[in-house]
Structure formats: structure tokens, C-alpha cells
Amino acid sequence: MTLPRLSIEGLTKYFGEVLVLDDISLDVAPHEVVCLIGASGSGKSTLLRCINKLTEFDYGTIALDGVSIDDPGWGRNGLYRRVGIVFQSYNLFPHMSVMENITLAPIKVHGIARAEARANARELLAAFGMDSRGDAYPEQLSGGQQQRVAIVRALATHPEVLLLDEVTAALDPELVGEVLAIIRRLKAEGMTMVIVTHEMGFAREVADRVCFLSDGRIVEEGEPGTLFSAPRHPRTQKFLQRII
Ligand code: ADP
Ligand code: MG
């Protein structure tokens, strides 16, 4: 058994008195794609935010390549470089060009030389079919293009794990496909990903494993074929009946 890329054990988090993550344990192998599904409020976003240290948690451990994310050796920015996150709202800086959006963190936070950061960004933009858009500003792009830029921005530090939180939820239906195509491609290239999605068809296609969250717990997990066709837990059954 190879060392998990990401290892979560007994993760527990309260917001005030409210228990939002209840003893979550989850290992993600290198190159594995895990999809998190579950009703709104079940804790999916909070789980991703804990992995990326955007939110603190109360109990449990999270480790990347066997090293706790709280290990001082990472430094705050070291972890951000190796674990990328993309949100539903693309959060691009509106007053910066695409190129500036992508190179900001590599240059300012991670100390990469400007020329190198720009060359890397150009390469990524070309790889994702946006060679000509480096000088554009976010408002000049469609929602789908903006979300693709947000994903490229997350890739600019060459992360080992990518966390995607409902990245297609804010898009017009006709623009969803171009973002899903990028995720498919990242999977083909071996990116380790934890993906929160309401696109069940896509989860079924891209996931190696699906976890169903309810009230802060993983109540069922399995291969997508099994979980979607023959869910065992009554809550999973009910959720899937409602959503599909
Ligand atoms: P999901 O992404 O599955 O919709 P969230 O992780 O956003 O769920 O939320 C899980 C629970 O935590 C919900 O009950 C939500 O109201 C609560 N919650 C999320 N963020 C905060 C916060 N910053 N302060 C207080 N409660 C929060
Ligand atoms: Mg959420």
C-alpha cells in the first residue's frame, strides 16, 4: 500500500456549539480522484477549507505525504503551494489581467522570478486553450473562461493536490462543459483531486471514489458505479432520489 497523498483522521470541527465535521476520516491516494457529495450544509466546503488551512479544526489530524499540515516545516505558504483550491465564485482579481492573476501568488508569495512565473503561466494558458487571453481582464471573459483561469491560477504553483468546490455551480449550463473538460484532463494527467460537485453524472464519470456526507459525517463511500446504482444507506438513497 502506497503512502496516502492526503490522510485525514478523526477530523472534528465546531462552529460555536454546532458540530459541522463529525469524526471524518479519509485517505486519498496519489492520483486518486475523490468526489464529495451531499446536501447543502452537510460540511463539504468546510472539509475542503480545513485541508487547505483556510479554517481551523478542533480535533483530528490532516497530513500531506505523511506530514501534518500543522507541522511548522510547511510554513503557511508552503502548504498553499502544494494544495490548490478553486471555489464556486472564481474570485479573480477584477483589476488585474489574466496574466497578473495567475502570476501574483507565484511572484509575491512564493518568490518565483517574474520571467519564470510568466513563462509558466503562458505555458499553462496554452495548454488549456487560452493562449490569447493573457492580457484580458476578467470582465472581458465568459464565466466558463474565468473559471478556467481560476483553475490555471491554482495550478501555477504546481500543487500536488487540487481541491475543487462546486466549480461549475455558478456557470450557465452551456459553459459547464468546458470546465469539466479541464478537470477530466487533469485526471488524465494524474492530478490528485478532491472534488465537491452537484453534477452527479460527472462524479460518476470522473471519481475513483465517492463519499456521501450528511450532517458532517461520511455516511457512505464507494466506487461510483456501486454508490450511485446501489446506495446502501437510507440517507444516500434519499439524497440520490431527490437529486437525480
Ligand atoms: P456544504 O458545503 O456541504 O454546503 P458547509 O461546509 O458550507 O456545507 O457548512 C456546514 C455547516 O457549517 C452549515 O451548517 C453551515 O451553516 C455552517 N457554517 C459554515 N461556515 C460557517 C461559518 N463561517 N460560521 C458559522 N457556521 C458556518
Ligand atoms: Mg459548500
What tens digit of pLDDT does each residue of 153-199 get?
Answer: 999 999 999 999 999 998 988 889 989 999 999 999 999 999 999 99
Ligand 1: which of 35, 44, 46, 89 to mutate, judged by most atoms within 8 Å of the beta carbon? 46
80 Cα–ligand 1 center, Å = 22
- Determine the pLDDT at residue 243: 81
Interstrand relation of 209-214 and 217-222 (parallel, antiparallel or unpaired)? antiparallel
58 Cα–ligand 1 center, Å = 15
Q: What are 157-166's pLDDT values in tens digits? A: 999 999 999 9
Provide the residue type at 165 as one letter. D
Q: What are 78-91's pLDDT values in tens digits? A: 888 899 999 998 78
- Determine the pLDDT at residue 167: 94
**Stated pTM of the model:** 0.95
Atom of ligand 1 nearest to the CA of 213: 3
- The strands making up 83-86's β-sheet, listed across from edge to edge, are 83-86, 161-165, 192-196, 33-38, 209-214, 217-222
163 Cα–ligand 2 center, Å = 12
Please, is 241 exposed, middle or buried when counting C-beta atoms within 10 Å of its C-beta (0-12, 13-18, 19+)? exposed
- The strands making up 18-28's β-sheet, listed across from edge to edge, are 18-28, 6-15, 59-64, 67-68
What letter does residue 165 receive in the DSSP assignment? E
Ligand 1 lined by 52 (C-beta under 6 Å): no
Atom of ligand 1 nearest to the CA of 40: 4
- Determine the pLDDT at residue 189: 95
190 Cα–ligand 2 center, Å = 25
- Determine the pLDDT at residue 77: 81
Return the H-helix or E-strand segment holding 86: strand 83-86
